[in-house]
Amino acid sequence: MEKIYDLIILGGGPAGLSSGLYAGRARLDTVIIEKGIAGGQAATTSDIDNYPGVKNAKGPEISDVMRNQAEDFGTEFITGDILEVDFSQEIKKVKTSSGEYRGRAVIISTGARPKKLGFPGEEKYTGRGVAYCATCDGEFFTDLEVFVIGAGYAAAEEAIYLTRFAKKVTVIAREPEFTCAKAIAERVLENNKIEVIFNTEIIEASGDEMVNYAKFRNNVTKETWEYKSGENFGIFVFIGYEPITEKFNGHVKMDDKGYIPTDETMKTDIEGVYAAGDLRPKMLRQVVTAVADGAIAATAAERYVSELKRKSGESQDEKSKPKAQVEKEAVKNKKLGFLKGEIAYQLREVFEKMEKEVIFVTIVDESVKKSLELKEVLEEIVQLGDKLELEVYKKGENPEIEEKINADKYPVVALLDSEGRYRGVKFHGIPGGHELNSFVMAVYNLAGPGQVISVDILEKIKEIDQKVNIKVGVSLTCHHCPDAVIAAQRLAIENENIEAEMIDVLQFADIRSKYNIMSVPAIIINDSEVTFGAKKIDEILQMLKK
């Protein structure tokens, strides 16, 4: 019989993780479906200093703690894109790229994405000077000047973060003052690397290959001024967010901006469906308000599910106890250097599902420090799965295998299937940060069972009958990058004509320079066409057919 969860949580940001924690404590059989790394926008925020009870918190760290808490109470995590939903019946259905799931209640917590301004040059120079994520792209602007567009929390916080890399940061705010908390605004105004220009808007950006010109207008005096530079500079846009709710259009009530209204219990207009976090219309969108929403939504969902079970005569305590802590601690206490105990435990859970063996092949160039580091990381990873093997060769030791996997950059690791065939999946860089997720999914998709893929998409992949190379330039701090890497590598796994390489472009200055990469993910097709931004399988397929 197909499993029915008590609660399905869509999105693993602070609201979703808080829901998972509260639902787990309430003994609901709960699953969180997240397309990428848990934590949402919090996982990409460098410093969080306004979360009560936690001083000087790092976004990724607090996100990891939230996930661990939810897991400790038995909440399950699944990686997948939401494709369709059906909330019309008592048992709700959610179709994802990882399969279809059914649940008695659903919490929608898919969050929000950065807005774009629409000024001339914004789209053209995205990835070549125009950016939207400081933690993803900030390092590309080391010793360059950057402009930050916006006056809210995100603009202020990211302006401070960018001073780690840029030689100067100029904040352009159309408002007469900051709209965020005074304490944060004061930190910006007091920073000697930041200049703030109020009542001003950007109206144009341009350049040659990269941004080196911008035009601005004072919205009070209507005067315009230009900024020209002999070198490249950056424009980071932080003007707010828009809700990620398209998949729920027609299934729950929304306002004219796409936000999902709820009552005080986070209930939508549909029985058993709740919404939490930044996709709700509200005054303040911060981690603290998101986790509050999640806690309330989970509590309301627990009451709803309990009433359903009472009416149907089902047991109120069918869920087994949380995972055995003895087993978990055994993995967490392994003597590992790169992989921390909690991460090791999560990886082992994935690797236990493998149906076939996967062989890692790494060619070590001893003159490259990262190549030696990659070998050590892989040696730790293979300890976590009985179906994982590692082959290590020094550069020049085995020319046949080097040719087989097209080893032309170091560090390098290629994935071979159980029959020793190279399946077109390579990583040039350490699979750490957010890219650990794409590495694990490459193993999972190659070994099986793998993420569910539609017959229609699979047929289109099989139609590609010419050799194609896809390079996905990433940074390990980019939360958008794994989506593009996973999509490209899935194409390679399904078609022997396709090769997909993950490249940590901060390690390869020649590639950054050759393709003018100032933002990630950067998708390079056959060493010529370059496209920026996260892409799904169908979008990359369209790029291949041009």
8 Å CB contact between 14 and 287 = yes
Residue 143 lies in a domain: yes
- Domain boundary residue among 285, 312, 339? 312
Residue 319 lies in a domain: no
Task: Please check whether residues 525 and 404 belong to one and the same domain.
Answer: yes
pTM: 0.79
**How confident is the model over 172-194, as a mean pLDDT?**
96
CA separation for the pair 407, 192 (Å, rounded): 46
Catalytic residues: 133, 136-137
What's the structural domain count of the chain? 3
- Domain boundary residue among 186, 205, 237? 237
pLDDT digit string (tens) for 104-113? 999 999 998 8
Residue 19 lies in a domain: yes
Task: Please check whether residues 364 and 302 belong to one and the same domain.
Answer: no
Residue 137 lies in a domain: yes
Task: Please check whether residues 36 and 72 belong to one and the same domain.
Answer: yes
Per the structure, the complete domain to which residue 409 belongs is given by: 325-544
Task: Please check whether residues 408 and 505 belong to one and the same domain.
Answer: yes
Q: Give the pLDDT score at 314.
A: 76
Least confident of 416-430, 444-458, 486-500: 444-458
- CATH code where residue 389 lies: 3.40.30.80
- Domain boundary residue among 312, 339, 361? 312
State the pLDDT confidence band at 60, using cuts at 50, 70 and 90.
Answer: low
Buried b (16+ CB within 10 A) or exposed e, 269-288: ebebbbbbbbbbeeeebbbe
Task: Please check whether residues 247 and 393 belong to one and the same domain.
Answer: no
Residues in the chain: 546
Task: Please check whether residues 45 and 63 belong to one and the same domain.
Answer: yes
User: Considering just the CA atoms, what is the radius of gyration of the chain in Å?
Assistant: 24
> Has residue 325 got a pLDDT over 90?
no
Task: Please check whether residues 375 and 438 belong to one and the same domain.
Answer: yes
Task: Please check whether residues 145 and 226 belong to one and the same domain.
Answer: yes
Residue 320 lies in a domain: no
Residue 366 lies in a domain: yes
Task: Please check whether residues 448 and 300 belong to one and the same domain.
Answer: no
**How confident is the model over 501-522, as a mean pLDDT?**
94
Residue 125 lies in a domain: no
Question: What HEC string does 211-268 produce?
Answer: EEEEEEEECCCCCEEEEECCCCCEEEECCCEEECCHHHECCECCCCCCCCCCCCCCEC
> Has residue 312 got a pLDDT over 90?
no
Task: Please check whether residues 476 and 329 belong to one and the same domain.
Answer: yes
- CATH code where residue 188 lies: 3.50.50.60
**How confident is the model over 33-58, as a mean pLDDT?**
63
CA separation for the pair 85, 94 (Å, rounded): 5
Task: Please check whether residues 374 and 410 belong to one and the same domain.
Answer: yes
Residue 122 lies in a domain: no
CA separation for the pair 188, 171 (Å, rounded): 9
Task: Please check whether residues 438 and 368 belong to one and the same domain.
Answer: yes
pLDDT digit string (tens) for 443-490? 999 999 888 788 889 999 999 999 999 999 999 888 889 889 999 999
